[in-house]
Amino acid sequence: MENIIRIAVQKSGRLSDDSLKLIKECGIKFHNGTGKLKSSSTNFPIEFLFLRDDDIPGYVADGIADLGIVGENELVEKDKNVSVLKKLGFSKCRLSLAIPKGEDYPGINYFEGKNIATSYPKILGDYLKKVNINADIHEISGSVEIAPSIGLAEGICDIVSSGSTLMMNGLKEVEEIFQSQAVLISNKDISAEKQATVEKLLFRMGAVQEGKKNKYVLLNAPNDSLEKILSLIPGMRSPTILPLAEEGWSSVHSVISEDQFWENIEELRKAGAQGILVVPIEKMLI
Ligand code: ATP
Ligand code: MG
């Protein structure tokens, strides 16, 4: 029982689907009926707390939860004493300063002496200090982008991903001040028994992440160009080569990062590779 860990994930919002998907991809089964605030797994020593993302850093710092999945924006803003175990690569967004579209923007000095509305007073305050600008930070908890049009502030600092919300509200992005993605955080004082479970979870998450970065590639190659082709898809240890029924041809199997695959595809074809199949990898243990 002492080895059961508790993880806090967002109840509903832009972090929750990908957080739960990652946990499922780690082979961990659980029920999350709508409206449930707590759940446990049937095949891994883990319990889930479903919370608002604002509360996750605090629950983890206090040890109510051992782990949490939260955006770096909330984590830095809440400034709680927790460890970051892993960047998770989803819920990527940025915090930016924006001003009304029609305004000229000469540079960061624009904000000197102005009012800026935001839900991120700490991140914004730290940034303004760094760039030596004195501005008034007006903290509001939501609908920040309407602040300029109702006369509440001259600029805003808010989350941007595509920029369409800014545009709809007659604003333009002028400075990016912080980049964020989802991270796995941990309480700083975890028992050895729980730590062993955390290590198991990290191992599985690592395998899922590696699998996503790489592809399994199969192709047919004339034997006389095998050397060239093997140099283009080097594989984990080295590629597998199997003879085809047709004389003079081989089937080559290898693992390669998706980026590298696209970089080398033209050369592979030039070298005579045919029938190229690219297959997703579910998990990869190196
Ligand atoms: P809660 O009700 O849990 O407090 P919320 O309204 O504060 O939710 P969401 O809009 O669900 O927050 O966003 C959660 C997190 O997802 C943000 O803090 C940020 O890290 C990330 N995020 C926000 N907007 C986007 C986006 N457009 N694309 C990707 N990630 C985003
Ligand atoms: Mg929130």
From CA 134, how far away is CA 126, in angstroms rounded? 11
- pLDDT 10s digits, 126-176: 999 999 999 999 999 999 999 999 999 999 999 998 889 999 999 999 999
Q: How confident is the model at residue 238 (pLDDT cuts 50, 70, 90)?
A: confident
Q: How confident is the model at residue 286 (pLDDT cuts 50, 70, 90)?
A: confident
The CB of 154 under 6 Å from ligand 1? The reply is: no
The CB of 74 under 6 Å from ligand 1? The reply is: yes
pTM, entire model: 0.91
> Which of 45, 46, 41, 54 lies closest to 11, judged by CA?
54
Distance from residue 71's CA to the centre of ligand 2 (Å): 10
pLDDT of 162: 85
Atom of ligand 1 nearest to the CA of 73: 20
Atom of ligand 1 nearest to the CA of 91: 30
Longest dimension (CA), the chain: 78
pLDDT of 40: 94
CB of 281 closer than 8 Å to CB of 255: yes
> Which of 76, 97, 226 lies closest to 160, judged by CA?
97
pLDDT of 91: 95
Tell me the torsion sign for CA atoms 25, 32, 40, 7. positive
pLDDT of 36: 82
From CA 16, how far away is CA 71, in angstroms rounded? 11
Distance from residue 67's CA to the centre of ligand 2 (Å): 17
Sheet containing 155-160: give its strands across. Answer: 136-139, 115-118, 155-160, 93-100, 171-180
pLDDT of 95: 98
CB of 5 closer than 8 Å to CB of 45: yes
